[in-house]
Amino acid sequence: MAHTGHQSMRRVLRREIAGTIGLLADEHDFTAMRRYRSFTFDDHTTYLDQVEALLRTRAEQGTHTTVALFDPEEYAEFCTETGLEPDIPSSRTRFTAELAATGAAVPYEGQPLTELVPELIDEAVRKATWEYATTLLAQIGTCACCGEDIGRTSFARATDLLTRILDTAAPGERHLVCSVSSKPQALVAVIRAEQDPDGATRLDETEALEFATVLALGIATRSPGGLVMRTSAPDTTDRVYGWRLRGDGLEPLTAGEVFDAYCTDVISGDLVSPESGVDYCTPPDLGDGLGHGGTASDGRLH
């Protein structure tokens, strides 16, 4: 009886343990891992099918699982830095545990891999964008005129702008995109927010941090860029408006400029049909001149 009781308790405890699976999302990464003899899969499709079956089984058992993006190059570097033998499963387990804390990961909630993999890749891109923008901000240094840390000042400005944009938006769902023309490629950040019945704005704090960081980099480096907001609410017309980055402030786009941006194919440059039920308009005033290409009198960068 005591032995049976111990087994039952262990089964209960297993349901309390969260796990992480490192996923080789594409064929190239899968092929790279096949150089290790201890990695016994030889077909990527079969591998993905087995991962999905395992995820379903764990979910049916009431076990929470996080899926992390497994990068073979990062794994090899990890093994070199830690002195681990890469061709044994326990080393891959150690690396996967590290990914759970520091890498791109999403929770498995019953979605098929065809939905989960794009979510995982989007998360990886978001994380890489934020890390890259943070690094560049930290490297800018201090202002030669006033001695202020330019990155920190720009981040404070970006946070203030984001708050004002969300506070002046119409009630309902808000979808805000920021793009900054940075080398070697443009940086893009997205934030989604909703308004509670009492008027409070609900948003993801991580998204807000990433968004403010990308916007701050555009402000600090005076890079070309822009922001576009789309608001949606039941029984109302969607509203789309935006701003371009201008110095350390924002300059509102005209309704025609927003229309052109939304109705032009970004790849071919050809015109596309506008959406029905969408109002392309000028943005609301952000106050203190911040929505009209100016800056607040107490926050100018030198």
User: pLDDT 10s digit of each residue in the chain, 302 long?
Assistant: 445 555 555 555 555 555 899 999 999 999 999 999 999 999 999 999 999 999 999 898 888 899 999 999 999 999 999 999 999 999 999 999 998 888 888 999 999 999 999 999 988 888 889 888 999 888 888 876 777 888 889 999 999 999 999 988 888 899 999 999 877 778 899 999 887 767 778 888 888 999 999 999 999 999 999 999 999 988 889 999 999 998 878 999 999 888 887 777 655 567 777 777 789 999 998 876 555 443 333 333 33
What is 217-265 written as a DSSP string?
A: HHHHHT--EEEEEEEE-TTS-EEEEEEEEETTEEEEPPHHHHHHHHTB-
Strands (E), the chain: 19-23, 65-69, 105-107, 173-180, 187-195, 201-203, 225-232, 238-246, 249-252, 278-280
> What pLDDT is recorded for position 15?
55
Query: CA-CA distance, 93 to 120, in Å (whole number)?
Result: 19
> What pLDDT is recorded for position 18?
59
Q: pTM for the complete prediction? A: 0.76
193 bridge partner residues? 174, 203
> What pLDDT is recorded for position 70?
94
> What pLDDT is recorded for position 298?
34
Please write the tens of the pLDDT for every residue from 196-225.
767 778 888 888 999 999 999 999 999 999
178 bridge partner residues? 189, 227
Query: CA-CA distance, 192 to 285, in Å (whole number)?
Result: 21
